[in-house]
Each structure stands twice: as C-alpha cells, then as structure tokens.
Amino acid sequence: MYDFIVIGSGFGGSVSALRLAEKGYSVLVIEKGKRYSHTDFPRTNWSLRKYLLLPALRFFGFQKLTFNRYASILTGIGVGGGSLVYANTLFHPRMSSSNILPGNIMPAGNGYSIPIMKRPPS
C-alpha cells in the first residue's frame, strides 16, 4: 500500500516523487519504458533503431513520435521520461574571440571547457 502513486519518471514525476518521499510518504513510481545505461544510447543520429520507438518496424529506442491534427509530439519512453530526449546532447559552439565573454569559461566535467557566450548576431 502506497500513500502516492506517480505515473512517469520524467521532469515532473521524478521531482514530485522525491518531494513526497522527503516528507515521509511512501511513493510508487510507474514508468512505461526501461532503464537505459550510457552504452544504450546511439552514437549517431542515424541509428534510428536505437532512437525511435516504432515496434512495428522493430525500432526499440527511447523517443516516441506522436502525430495528430494540431501538433507533433516527441516524448521520452523510459526511466527519465522527457529528459531522455536530451540524452547525449552537448553542443560545441564555434570559438571566436568576438562571442566569448572575457573570463567566463566553465569546466564541463568531460574534458572540455564550455565558454559562456554572447547571443549570436541575428
């Protein structure tokens, strides 16, 4: 028996479950997809079988595309929910002295340094 049942482990569900548990409630989190490790993610965007969830095509990835009349929706299927959509995303901006703010370089924790940049010209 649980005090609360949270459906989905994405941005909202994980934080809700954490806050409830911190207050002493018993919480059950239900997630549709599986837990992924860093080795499960595709190395390129062309690995559609690892990216998209389309079982009819034998694609068992972590992103589901839903199309309807007014919107196309990309959701994450797995532990982490929508945060899986951002998995393995790290953009490396072009380095030039005109778009880096002086003295504002932060370590990224992966061997790279990421500059804090001005907005690119329109």
Higher-confidence residue: 15 or 86? Answer: 15
- Asked if residue 112 has pLDDT above 60, the reply is no
- Asked if residue 114 has pLDDT above 50, the reply is no
Q: Where are the domains of the chain?
A: 1-31, 46-89, 90-122
**Is residue 7 exposed (0-12), middle (13-18) or buried (19+ Cβ within 10 Å)?**
exposed
Q: What is the pLDDT of residue 106?
A: 46
Query: What would the pLDDT profile of 10-64 be if each residue is shown by its tens digit?
Result: 888 888 999 999 999 999 999 888 888 878 888 887 888 888 888 899 998 888 8
Task: Please give the biggest Cα pair distance in the chain.
Answer: 60
